[in-house]
Amino acid sequence: MRWFLRRAGRTVMGVFRRQVGLIAAMSVVGLTACSHSPDTSAPATMGASTAPGAATSAVAAPSRWNPCDSKDLPDAAVTAAGLDPTSKEKGVVQFTTYHICDWGGSWYLADVGAGGIDFDQELNNNTYTGRENLVIGGRQAVRMRNNAVDGECDVLFAIPGGSARFAVGPKLDAGMATSGRGDSCVEVTRVATALANYLPPA
């Protein structure tokens, strides 16, 4: 029952809230791509210049790093970060270009999402407050409170083709008794520090 409550309280209300935002974000990406589609009356080649000697431009492909894949984020690393690899659950919504998984800690749940959502777009989500610039594992990161989920704190990184976000928030049972929870921002920084080296090169 506690396992169900933990998932119902945190994953459905928290991760589902984030994934609703994800659906909207991915829709914006899709609409933007459609609005910039080339005229199909003439063939176009990706990255090809229109005139000899003209500079070419490349569009970054969405990152293929998947935190739900143990090849990208090994169970041993998850364990070393203080999480239980056997508790891993995939988010309710998964995209071909964005993936979310969560793991249980002592009083909290930690989830990691990564893929083709632009770093600035995610950073400027109006549910975030108290943004702090950090350097974690030699990489630039931003830590912030997520006001849409009680007690949650997130750390955001830029990765090729998108962003990666680490989040920590209290389990439902720990959330009911605030004396049983720690500091989500301290904990998410610790988890992100332990796992940052597994992110794709910036």
Return the structure tokens found at 83. Answer: 């999480």
Predicted local distance difference test score (pLDDT) of residue 19: 46
Residue-wise pLDDT for 72-116, tens only, equals 999 999 999 999 999 999 875 556 678 999 999 989 999 999 999
14: pLDDT confidence band, cut at 50, 70 and 90? very low
Predicted local distance difference test score (pLDDT) of residue 24: 44
Q: What angle do CA 91, 14, 183 make, to 5 degrees?
A: 115
Residue-wise pLDDT for 30-83, tens only, equals 433 444 444 444 433 333 333 444 444 444 555 579 999 999 999 999 999 999
pTM of the predicted model as reported, rounded to 2 decimal places = 0.71
Most confident listed range (12-21, 156-165, 172-181): 156-165
CA distance 189 to 184: 8
The total number of residues shown for the chain amounts to 202
